[in-house]
Amino acid sequence: MRRVRFIRNPLSTHIGHNVEEFLQELGGPACIFLDGDDTSRTRAFVTLLHGNEPSGAIALFQWLKSGRRPAVNAVCIVASVTAALTSPVFSHRMLPEDRDLNRCFRPPFDDAQGALAEEILEILRLHHPEAVVDMHNTSGSGPAFGVCTHMDRQHDALVSLFTQRLIISNLGLGALMEISEHSYPTVTVEVGGRLDDEAHVLATEGLERYFLAPTVLAQRETDWGLELLRDPIRLELNEGVGLTYAERPSGAHAVTLRPDIEHLNFGVVPRDTALGWATGDIRRLFSALDAGGRCAVSKLVRIENEELYPAMDLKLFMITNNAAIASTDCLFYAVAADGSTILS
């Protein structure tokens, strides 16, 4: 059964008046193919893998409204349309009964989300794009960054269309980036917080650069001046450990984080910065694995007088203040303050 609707060169008058109407027109997962000036090459744009991350869909809607033609063919995949349209709009990462689509890009593909992921991979294979950009928002507020599984001049060039910050990470989570990467240069671009207007603006302007540039891949080695963050470690909450965000420790939860913790995104966080409060043994509360698969919890956090601190000077990112996301995904990603890999 095919799940993805195919649409070619939609007219700007047939896509609704705003992004919500645009998604209603699509009605479900869709692949929009745009003929380019040069029809011998194709670039892929994937977005809305997560239904609560609107910037990519907004950017695509704006592009289609503009009626312009891309430099080369563009194959645009808009995935979690149903989750996005489920009321309240743009609030569901996925539907309650579904798996996270960006963890489904590896076998087995045997449920609905797996089948959709497999079909997206098939569409990419069919069009053999010269590059793939997968656009996301972070759930918390914060600056934009790119993510790729390894670094070379192609990834640098692609990311620099959107942002100057690049995370090199290969966590084997089943993300699109990890799989697609084997065939085409693929980057994930996190354009900023899902509720931030500046994220929507960056998405729109970045997509224009991606679609309009005659070449997006580097012909030669170029110094793009990117800030690199290598092999971040995810700090995860162990199952059954209660978490809340509050100004003071909550008796009802083992871990309380400061409500303004997302303001620490991407800055250097010195080891004497209080992150919140926690009671108990850190290894009981948290899990974290370094790139070699060893426990790295004690490299990331420490508890002193029931207050939670970084174990060393760190750079933190993907910090959320949404307890549901933090509990099911992770609290944050961390590298050493100089951007280097943390190893246990």
Question: Where do we find the tokens 């990467």?
Answer: 181
Tell me: does residue 136 bind Zn ion (CB under 5 A): yes
**Residue number with the smallest Cβ distance to Zn ion:** 136
Work out whether the CA dihedral 213, 219, 225, 231 comes out positive or negative. Answer: positive
Tell me: does residue 92 bind Zn ion (CB under 5 A): no
Query: In whole angstroms, how close is the CB of 147 to Zn ion at the nearest point?
Result: 10
Residue 102 three-state SS: helix
Instruction: Specify the residue, 72 or 147, whose C-beta has the smaller distance to Zn ion.
Output: 147
Question: Where do we find the tokens 């080695």?
Answer: 221
Query: In whole angstroms, how close is the CB of 30 to Zn ion at the nearest point?
Result: 18
Instruction: Specify the residue, 50 or 155, whose C-beta has the smaller distance to Zn ion.
Output: 50
Query: In whole angstroms, how close is the CB of 27 to Zn ion at the nearest point?
Result: 22
Instruction: Specify the residue, 186 or 256, whose C-beta has the smaller distance to Zn ion.
Output: 186
CB atoms within 10 A of CB 294: 11
Query: In whole angstroms, how close is the CB of 145 to Zn ion at the nearest point?
Result: 13
Instruction: Specify the residue, 53 or 118, whose C-beta has the smaller distance to Zn ion.
Output: 53
Instruction: Specify the residue, 52 or 73, whose C-beta has the smaller distance to Zn ion.
Output: 52
* Count of residues of this chain found to bind Zn ion when the rule CB under 5 A is applied: 3
Alpha helices in the chain (DSSP H): 19-26, 55-66, 81-85, 112-127, 153-159, 176-180, 197-212, 282-285, 297-300, 323-328
State residue 333 phi and psi, 5-degree precision. Answer: -110, 150
* Among the residue ranges 107-115, 118-126, 133-141, 300-308, the one whose residues contact Zn ion (CB under 5 A): 133-141
Query: In whole angstroms, how close is the CB of 50 to Zn ion at the nearest point?
Result: 4
Query: In whole angstroms, how close is the CB of 213 to Zn ion at the nearest point?
Result: 24
Beta bridge partners of 133: 45, 187
* Among the residue ranges 8-16, 131-139, 240-248, 330-338, the one whose residues contact Zn ion (CB under 5 A): 131-139
| Structural contact between residues 335 and 341, judged by C-beta atoms closer than 8 angstroms | yes
- What's the Cα-to-Cα distance from 27 to each of 4, 16, 60, 83, rounded to whole Å? 10, 12, 16, 11
Query: In whole angstroms, how close is the CB of 136 to Zn ion at the nearest point?
Result: 3
State both tokens at 87.
Answer: 């009321």
Query: In whole angstroms, how close is the CB of 93 to Zn ion at the nearest point?
Result: 7
Return the residues of window 3-62 that contact Zn ion according to CB under 5 A. Answer: 50, 53
Instruction: Specify the residue, 156 or 329, whose C-beta has the smaller distance to Zn ion.
Output: 329
Instruction: Specify the residue, 193 or 310, whose C-beta has the smaller distance to Zn ion.
Output: 193
Residue 15's nearest CA partner among 56, 57, 61, 54 is 61
* Among the residue ranges 39-47, 78-86, 132-140, 237-245, the one whose residues contact Zn ion (CB under 5 A): 132-140
Work out whether the CA dihedral 7, 68, 85, 51 comes out positive or negative. Answer: positive
Q: 96: which residues sit within 8 A by CB, 6+ positions away?
A: none
Instruction: Specify the residue, 53 or 181, whose C-beta has the smaller distance to Zn ion.
Output: 53
Query: In whole angstroms, how close is the CB of 53 to Zn ion at the nearest point?
Result: 5
Return the residues of window 277-296 that contact Zn ion according to CB under 5 A. Answer: none
| Structural contact between residues 299 and 344, judged by C-beta atoms closer than 8 angstroms | yes
First-to-last C-alpha distance (Å) of the chain: 46
Instruction: Specify the residue, 93 or 258, whose C-beta has the smaller distance to Zn ion.
Output: 93
In angstroms and rounded to an integer, the radius of gyration of the C-alpha atoms of the chain is: 20
Residue 190 three-state SS: strand
Tell me: does residue 127 bind Zn ion (CB under 5 A): no
Interaction site with Zn ion (CB under 5 A): 50, 53, 136
